[in-house]
Amino acid sequence: MVAAHDALARFLRSTEAFLALAENIQGDTWSVRPVGEEWSPAETVEHVVLTNRATLARLRDRAGAVPVEDTAHFPDARIVEAMFHGVPAPPGAAAPGGRFATRADGVAALVAVRDGIAEAVRAGGDRLREVAFAHPVFGMFDGVQWVLFVGAHTDNHIPQLRRLCDA
């Protein structure tokens, strides 16, 4: 099993790589959706922020959590970027809706949610393994696994953001 501090380190590495791309988006590129792409850079950043915010809410509040011993959940080793290939995104809460008018707004939101997740993991540590929350596609994740998930989710969107930046 992956320790909470190792899951956090992985998430932070993923987020730093994503931020490095986002911070270098120039001018009008921020809001332009290139032909053949599902989202603009702004929408991609917003989607990652919304997913991370939902995870942070789980880590902070733990409302709706179930004791881990009452669940069967995903193995840590399968929570990787490749888990998203060929799997439809769940509808709803993480759909971008134009919340960040500027790159600075999107980057600031990403930094804030990154810092919030880091604080929650540092405070909860491996006790986050004691509760689980359902993911609408993958099933039950404990708190540490949600941190692994947002790292893998961010990794999944890095090639997309790179393509958008290069378009």
Residue 86: predicted pLDDT: 84
Q: Answer for the pair 143, 71: CB distance below 8 angstroms, yes or no.
A: no
Give residue 152's domain range: 4-166
Dump pLDDT digits (tens) for 50-104. 999 999 999 998 766 777 776 766 789 999 999 898 887 777 768 899 999 999 9
For residues 25-34, give the mean pLDDT.
90
Residue 166: predicted pLDDT: 83
CATH number of the domain to which 134 belongs: 1.20.120.450
Domains held by the chain: number = 1
Confidence band, pLDDT 50/70/90 cuts, at residue 139: confident
Check the CA dihedral 51-55-58-60 and report its sign: negative
The span from the CA of 6 to the CA of 76, in Å, is 12
Closest listed residue to residue 4, CA positions, set 78, 82, 76, 112: 76
Residue 63: predicted pLDDT: 67
Indicate whether this model's pTM tops 0.85: yes
